[in-house]
Amino acid sequence: MPDIRLEGLTKEFKEMVAVDHIDLTIEEGEFFSLLGPSGCGKTTTLRMIGGFEDPTEGHIYLGGSEVTGLPPYKRNVNTVFQSYALFPHLNVHDNVAYGLKRKKVAGDEIKSRVHEMLDIVDLPGYEQRRINQLSGGQQQRVALARALVNRPALLLLDEPLGALDLKLRKTMQLELKRIQGDVGITFVYVTHDQEEAMTMSNRIAVMNAGHFEQVGAPQDVYELPATEFVSGFLGASNLLEGEIESVNGPTAKVALELGATVALPADRLPTRQGRIGIGVRPEKIHIQDASAADASSRANAIEAMVRMSTYTGVSTSYECRTSDGSPVVVYVQNLGSSSVSIGAGTRVRLSWDPEHTFAVKRVAKAEDDGDKTATAMEGART
C-alpha cells in the first residue's frame, strides 16, 4: 500500500519555481531521502507534505486520502525540524507529551508512552530535564521522540543532523536507522549530504532545480547515475564525451572524443544515437604503467598522464589527464606490498569493465576553452 503519493506537485514563489511538477510514490515503512543541494526544493517539498506550505498546483495523498490544503494539525504526519524547535518553556516530558495531550490521550497512557519513547531514543529518566540543559544530540533525540510518540503514518525529517558534529552525526545516522526499524514508520528525510542519504535510505530522490533527477535505491543511484548532475552530486565521477558508434544487441559501443572506443550495456544509453557523456567511478578504474600494461587490463581502456598522486592512508588517488586534456580521477585501495605508487608524469593505461560504465545525456553548455570534452566532478562531500 502506498503511504504517500505526490501528483504534479508544484510550488511557485514570487519570482521562482521552487518545486516543479513532481510525482512520487513512497511505500509504507520506507526510509526515503530527498537529496540535493541547497535551494533545490527538497525542504519546500517536505513542508508541503507537512502542510506548512500550500502547493501552487498538484495533489498530496496520505494513505490513500487527499490531504492537500489541510492544515498541519489535521494531518497524521509529524515533523522533526532542522532547529529541533523544542518548546523552551516545557521540560522533556511535556515536550514529548505535547501532541498526545492535544489528542486527548489519557494521562496514564501519556506517561507510559513518553517513558517508552524516551527509552527508544536512549534518554531514559530525562523526563524532568529542561531543554536548555540538554546537549545538541540529546535535543535531537527529544525532537525525534516528540514526533514519534504520536505514532504518525509518516515522519518528516528536515536535515535533523545538520547541527551536530561529524562524529555524533555518524552515530545518529545509525541510531535513526535503528529507530526507524523499531517503530516501522515511514520516514521522509531531507538532506544535502549524499553519504548520509546513502547510509540510511531504502530509496533516494536526487533533486535539482525543483525536479527529480533520479529516484532509486542508493546502489542504483550511485552505480548508474541517470544524469550528469547525479553523477557529480553523489560521490566523485569521471565523465568523458563521446558519440554512439553502434548498438549491437545487449552491447553498445561509444567512440570517445579522445580516440578510444568503449563498450557498455546498451540499456544504459539515454538515447540511441548522437553525443553522450560516458562515466566511470574513480574506484572502478584500474591503473597501470602504460609501458608495463599486461593482461590485468580491462576491456575499456584509455591512455593518460598522471599529474598528481595523493596518499590518503586507506587509498591513493591519482589525478590524471587524457591526451585531450580531460581530467580523470582514480582511487586505488592500498592493499599492501602490491600497491606500488605511480609517480607524477608517468604515462598510464586506465581501464575498467563495460559493466562499470554508465552513460548520461550531454547537457549543452557554454564552451569557452579547450577543456570541453570531459569533466571530472568532485561530489558534494560534506
Partner 1 sequence: MAAKSERGRLTPYLLTLPGVLWLTAFFVVPMVTMFSVSFQEGNIYEGYRFTGHWQTYTDTLGSYSEQFLRSLWYGLIVTAAVLLITFPMSYWIALKGGKRKNLFLLMILLPFFTPFIIRTLSWKLILGDEGIFLGTLKNIGILPDSYQVLATPTAVIAGLIYNFLPFMALPLYVALEKLDPALLEAAQDLYSNKRETFMNVTLPLALPGVFAGSLLTFIPVAGDFINAELLGGVNTTMIGNVIQREILVNLDYPEGAAISFLLMAGILLGVFLYARALGTEELMG
State the minimum distance, in angstroms, from the CB of residue 192 to partner 1: 19
Q: What are the phi and psi torsion angles at 294 (to 5°)? A: -135, -160
State the minimum distance, in angstroms, from the CB of residue 100 to partner 1: 9
Q: Which is nearer to partner 1, 183 or 247 (CB)?
A: 183
Q: Which of 8, 128, 130, 273 binds partner 1 (CB under 8 A)?
A: 130
Restricted to residues 7-36, the positions that interact with partner 1 (CB under 8 A) are: none
State the minimum distance, in angstroms, from the CB of residue 237 to partner 1: 36
- Residue 170's alpha-carbon distances to 29, 204, 316, 349, 367, in angstroms, are 22, 18, 24, 37, 40
Q: Which is nearer to partner 1, 147 or 224 (CB)?
A: 147
Restricted to residues 135-174, the positions that interact with partner 1 (CB under 8 A) are: 146-147, 150
Stretch 96-115: interaction string toward partner 1, x if CB under 8 A: --xx--xx------------
Residue 130 DSSP class:
B
Q: Which is nearer to partner 1, 159 or 228 (CB)?
A: 159
Restricted to residues 32-51, the positions that interact with partner 1 (CB under 8 A) are: 50-51
Q: Which is nearer to partner 1, 90 or 183 (CB)?
A: 90
State the minimum distance, in angstroms, from the CB of residue 156 to partner 1: 9
Which cell numbers hold the place of 198?
A: 546513502
For 302-361, give the DSSP string: EEEEEEEEEE-SSEEEEEEEETTS-EEEEEEE--STT-PPPPTT-EEEEEE-GGG-EEEE
Q: Are strands 186-191 and 31-35 parallel, antiparallel or unpaired?
A: parallel
Q: Which is nearer to partner 1, 77 or 215 (CB)?
A: 77
Q: Which is nearer to partner 1, 38 or 337 (CB)?
A: 38
Q: Which is nearer to partner 1, 150 or 231 (CB)?
A: 150
Task: Give yes or no for a contact between 369 and 284, defined as CB atoms under 8 angstroms apart.
Answer: no
State the minimum distance, in angstroms, from the CB of residue 84 to partner 1: 8
Alpha helices (H) in the chain, listed in sequence order: 42-50, 92-102, 107-120, 136-148, 166-183, 194-200, 218-223, 228-233
Q: Is 370 in the site for partner 1 (CB under 8 A)?
A: no
Task: Give yes or no for a contact between 22 and 211, defined as CB atoms under 8 angstroms apart.
Answer: yes
Residue where the block lists cell 592500498: 334
State the minimum distance, in angstroms, from the CB of residue 261 to partner 1: 55
Residue where the block lists cell 516528540: 146
Residue where the block lists cell 525536479: 211
Q: Which is nearer to partner 1, 131 or 244 (CB)?
A: 131
Q: Which is nearer to partner 1, 79 or 214 (CB)?
A: 79
State the Cα–Cα distance between residues 66 and 88, nearest whole angstrom. Answer: 34
Angle at alpha carbon of residue 136, lines to 132 and 139, rounded to 5° = 65
Task: Give yes or no for a contact between 290 and 246, defined as CB atoms under 8 angstroms apart.
Answer: no
State the minimum distance, in angstroms, from the CB of residue 89 to partner 1: 5
State the Cα–Cα distance between residues 214 and 358, nearest whole angstrom. Answer: 14
State the minimum distance, in angstroms, from the CB of residue 86 to partner 1: 8
Q: How many residues form the binding site for partner 1 (CB under 8 A)?
A: 25
State the minimum distance, in angstroms, from the CB of residue 105 to partner 1: 11
Stretch 58-97: interaction string toward partner 1, x if CB under 8 A: -------------xxx---xxx-xxx-xxxxx--------
Would you mind telling me the total number of residues written for the chain in this entry? 382
Q: Which residues pair with 216 in a beta bridge?
A: 204
Q: Which of 52, 138, 195, 247 binds partner 1 (CB under 8 A)?
A: 52
Q: Which residues bind partner 1 (CB under 8 A)?
A: 50-52, 71-73, 77-79, 81-83, 85-89, 98-99, 102-103, 130, 146-147, 150
